[in-house]
């Protein structure tokens, strides 16, 4: 598991192994718009302020993924213990 921190409120939410970032946030009352849930459409694109994403999408280019400043939270996860998201 890993944690995501919401930059606006400082809230920290744990993302268990069997949950996506989107489902963990929704369970905590934080709704992110989404559609495909497969990393294809880009609807859920979210800015990353700190931490290293584990990109699982097919939407960002390899260059965009390598920049580590955005991720698709419907499918992507974290390589670092915490991601700070621009939410
Ligand atoms: Fe489509 Fe996340 S919902 S990329």
* Tens of each residue's pLDDT in the chain, 87 residues: 999 999 999 999 999 999 999 999 999 999 999 999 999 999 999 999 999 999 999 999 999 999 999 999 999 999 999 999 999
Decide whether any atom of ligand 1 lies within 6 Å of the 72 Cβ. Answer: yes
Question: ipTM surpassing 0.95, yes or no?
Answer: yes
* Ligand 1 atom nearest to CA at 36: 1
* Ligand 1 atom nearest to CA at 40: 4
Decide whether any atom of ligand 1 lies within 6 Å of the 7 Cβ. Answer: no
pTM of the model: 0.95
Distance from the CA of 32 to the center of ligand 1, in angstroms? Answer: 10
Cα(75)–Cα(39) distance, integer angstroms: 6
Cα(69)–Cα(52) distance, integer angstroms: 8
């Amino acid at each position: 598991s890993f944690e995501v921190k919401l930059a606006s409120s400082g809230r920290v939410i744990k993302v268990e192994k069997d949950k996506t970032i989107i489902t963990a946030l929704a369970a905590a009352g934080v709704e992110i718009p989404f559609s495909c849930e497969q990393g294809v459409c880009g609807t859920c694109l979210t800015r990353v302020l700190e931490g290293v994403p584990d990109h699982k999408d097919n939407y960002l280019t390899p260059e965009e993924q390598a920049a580590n400043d955005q991720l698709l939270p419907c499918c992507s996860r974290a390589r670092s213990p915490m991601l700070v998201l621009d939410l």
